[in-house]
Amino acid sequence: MASSTLDELADDRLSFRLLNDFQRDFPLCPTPFAELAARLGAGEGTILRTLAALCQRGRVARVGAVFAPQRIGTSTLAALAVPAEALHGVADMVSRFPEVNHNYEREHHYNLWFVVTAGSGERLQAVLAAIERAAGCPVLALPMLREYHVDLGFPLDGSDRARRSTRPSAPVAPAPLGETDRRLVAAVQEGLPLCRRPFAVLASRVGYSENALIERLRAWCAEGIVKRFGVIVRHHELGYTANAMLVHDIPDETVAEVGERLAGEAGITLCYQRPRVRPDWPYNLFCMLHGQTRSEVEARIRELRERLQLAAYAYDVLFSLTRFKQCGARYA
């Protein structure tokens, strides 16, 4: 491990295993932290204190659910081409919208990239329109057309164990939610309270019994509405500071084949098809790579493009420069 952060974690076996082993498949039971303690050979109090310290140091964003894109709401990737002298002011404005959960400066003419997530298409469009008015420049909206791989897990042991074989899938209609389920989403998106019976605490807030709430979460995991439930790490704080969006212009008749091949590669955390918006944006296949150094990521991109025979396709690489906002999506 080249990163001093990862070296430090390697010497702290309990923190390492909490971060590495439980980014998914977190125990959905009345006393989950006691279950973790039994698996890791530690006390329940030690588990809770360690997780609290990891949260306080910014290495863990929360313990909770990652909802699948478009399953309980709607979202889009969007970008602005902002004059350099206005960038920070516009970025601050964009970040103030609660519907914006990621907001990055990237190396490109389109230099501000953000994700907007909302409970309805109407609300999403209203937020984009408000951002466009306030920024004084048009928003490039790039909704997901087809998912090949979406999973921001970061295995720290180099195993790439978080990868799941996936088939390409087009967005499906969001699941209809009743009022109680909407309250559950609102509670879960904030993360579990770090206490002995966290699901009982959430249940008291939303009008479920503890067991009914756990069963509902299990059903959402089985149905794919919750993509994973576990420790949500912050990759930058763990040493993955080189963040690159690799985009290609792939012929429509072969984009699915190329997307599937890229999605199966280790180190690809996101891979999906989005629309071209000509003439300003000619690219339709997006994937994300994270590494500890820029040179590492650049070498990986060169290797992928050569081995997968992508040299004939136009492409661009947009490294992130400034992280203005990163948090969990807010659906309710």
Q: Which amino acid is located at 25 in the chain?
A: D
Tally the C-alpha atoms within 13 A of residue 248's C-alpha that lie toward its C-beta: 24
- Give me the chain's average pLDDT, please: 88
Between CA 304 and CA 307 the distance in angstroms is 5
Q: 62-71, 100-109, 149-158, 189-198: which range is least confident on average? A: 149-158
227 pLDDT band, cuts 50/70/90, is confident
Q: Which amino acid is located at 174 in the chain?
A: P
Both tokens assigned to 103 = 């907001």
DSSP, res 136: T
pLDDT at 145 over 80: yes
Beta strands (DSSP E) in the chain are 60-67, 74-80, 100-106, 112-118, 140-142, 146-150, 226-233, 242-248, 268-273, 285-291, 315-326
DSSP, res 68: P
| Total residues belonging to the chain | 332
Beta-carbon contacts of residue 248 (< 8 Å; ≥ 6 apart): 258, 283, 284, 285, 310, 313, 314, 315
pTM: 0.83
9 pLDDT band, cuts 50/70/90, is low
Tokens 């807010």 map to which residue? Answer: 330
Tokens 């290797």 map to which residue? Answer: 303
Between CA 112 and CA 320 the distance in angstroms is 9
